[in-house]
Structure 1
Amino acid sequence: MERIQEALAKARAARQKNSATRADQQQGSTNRTEHAPAPVPSVPVDDAWGALAPFKLNRAHLRKHRVVAAEGGRDSAPYDLLRTKIIHQAQSHGWRRVAIVSPDVGAGKSTTLANLAFSFERQRDMRVLCVDLDLRRPMLHKVLGQEPDHSMADILEGRVRFAEHGLRLGQRVGFGLNRGPAPNPSELLLSREARAALDEIEAGYAPDLVFFDISPLNASDDNIAFLQNVDCAVIIAAAEATPMSRIDQAERQVAELTNVMGIVLNKCRYISDTEGYDYY
């Protein structure tokens, strides 16, 4: 706990310093900020997406791991509603990078993101990237039934290009997965190389939204290192398992580092027949 509190203090100071620096740049460098050209990707965006390896769809595996949005229909309605709420919030505030985080292990954040990915695949005129940056206990590839040859640590350290690693679901959803834990995840997520790699991915694929599956708040300080790099976070809590005190604590921790988009209660056993309307 002391390590996490120390990391929070360092992250808060860094965020304040970065905010002050951005403000100074906007006041003193008007010409540079207004007229600097956007980075031009070396490959057209459509071609970059088309070159990604296709997602290997195994519906039996997805059903076993509760990825119900892959089938569509009534069971996917809560995730479709969550998708719509996320789009509304992101467009209203100009947010693009969204972290998916939980107070504790086992809340179902990776399963939630997997379902959201399939829900977004049905959303027209939007492209979304889902990146697993839980580098200690990656689960997204297991939930989705994929066996990648590389991990996101290889991309962040520049050993492998995302074009050689990413997977494409349909035409609108991309994945950056892991095949196992990475050494020194906190240091890696804080590195300049990691930030540059993520910026390069965004420039090359121009996604409307990027979702990051990051480690639980109580597991390590990895998420604290990374939350400064996102626009907002969605907190996933488990019904009948995550105490309200932990949810409140998680909300305070996240709010010190980025914007809280919302809190999702997962694993609800008691839902009415009109869940499409009153699920939230």
Structure 2
Amino acid sequence: MERIQEALAKARAQRQQGSATRTQHAAPPPANQSLEEAWASLAPFRLNRAELRRTRVVAAESGRDAAPYDLLRTKIIHQSQVNEWKRIAIVSPDSGAGKTTTLANLAFSFERQRDMRVICLDLDLRRPALQKILAQKPDHSMAEILEGHVRFAEHGLRLGERVGFGLNNGPAPNPSELLLSHAARDALDGIEREYAPDLTFFDLSPLNASDDNIAFLQNVDCAVIIAEAESTSMSRIDQAERQVAELTNVMGIVLNKSRYASEAEGYDYY
């Protein structure tokens, strides 16, 4: 707890400075490479629909199952545009809430949003799972990107034309220190300069697991909290909201794995 409190204090002190730094670093991609060329150079995503269905990535195809994620996508776009938010963290109070599965489905939902570019980065560096859910086997990890050892152009995957992924091939040592480092901030600024995404999503570790997410939340504009229906208590949700609000804006709370559907769901849709 003492370590978490220290991380909170340090993060609050650095948040405003980090926001100003991101603004100063914003710049167009290199003159010798167009934005379209930068995206086209990313390795294409290997689509395995059978494996995606097994891991509950239901938004790979439009339809009834994808509708909740399409609705969530639309709400995120609206909130981001109103508040001018670009960096969005996906967090959960505890493990097992489905935050990574939610992000995977959101990515496919955004792929159908043809007028936006989105990048999804797995920064749950202790227990990365996005690569498993997406059935991918990357050669590198995001830790190598954040340390500056590998360029994102050599690592990132491209889904369609406008969705990029940064995945992991295993856990990273010392994730808290890495996520707090200047090298990590510089690497993320470089990705934004080169690929100019409209939104960047970050999959972070559960709030109760470590101080990794506390170390990083100062670098985002807002966070979406994923709670598990019938499992995450209201007290844990309130605690998570307070914890996140110390460091960034709370965009909203998503109730996942709910077995109850209102009568309005699917109205005049299917």
Identify the TM-score tier after normalising by the shorter chain. over 0.9
Aligned to 1:28: none
The separation in 2 between residues aligned to 1:2 and 1:37, in whole angstroms, is 35
* Aligned residue in 2 for 1:106: 96
Q: Cα offset for 1:89?
A: 0.3
Structure 1 residue runs of 5 or longer lacking an equivalent are 26-32
Matched, 1:84 2:74: yes
Q: Which has the higher helix share?
A: 1
AA at the equivalent of 1:111: T
Per-residue CA deviation, residues 165-224 of structure 1 (Å, 9 max, x unaligned), is: 000000110000001100000111111111001000000001000000011111111101
Q: Is 1:5 matched up with 2:13? A: no
CA distance in 1, matches of 2:72, 2:47: 23
Give the structure 2 partner of residue 49 of structure 1.
Answer: 39
In structure 1, C-alpha distance between the alignment counterparts of 2:144 and 2:92, rounded to whole Å = 25
Distance 1:10 1:207 in 2: 28
TM-score normalised by the chain length of structure 2: 0.93
Change (3 A) 1:58 1:206: same
Residue 9 (structure 1) shift: 2.2
Query: Using a 3 Å threshold, how does the CA distance of structure 1 residues 142 and 240 change in structure 2: closer, same or farther?
Result: same
Residue of structure 1 in register with 2:139 after alignment: 149
After TM superposition, the score normalised by the length of structure 1 is: 0.90
Measure the CA separation in 1 of the matches of 2:99 and 2:83: 23
- For the pair 1:38 / 2:35, whether they are aligned, the reply is no
Matched, 1:135 2:138: no
Aligned-pair distance for 1:269?
1.1
CA distance in 2 between counterparts of 1:128 and 1:102 reads: 21
Residue number among 62, 69, 82 corresponding to 2:52 in the alignment: 62
Distance change (3 Å), C-alpha of 1:273 and 1:53: farther
**C-alpha separation in 2, matches of 1:153 and 1:130:** 15
Kept in 2, the 8 Å contact 1:78–1:276? The answer is: no
1:5-50 Cα offsets, whole Å, 9 max, x none, are 232122223336x28x95xx9xxxxxxx8xx993542421100100
> Which residue is 2:199 aligned to?
209
* Distance in 1 between residues matched to 2:106 and 2:87, nearest whole Å: 15
Letter in 2 for 1:41: P
CA RMSD of aligned residues (A): 1.8
How many residue pairs get matched? Answer: 264
Unaligned runs of 5+ in 2: none
Larger Rg: 1
Residue identity in the other structure for 2:12: R
Letter in 1 for 2:202: F
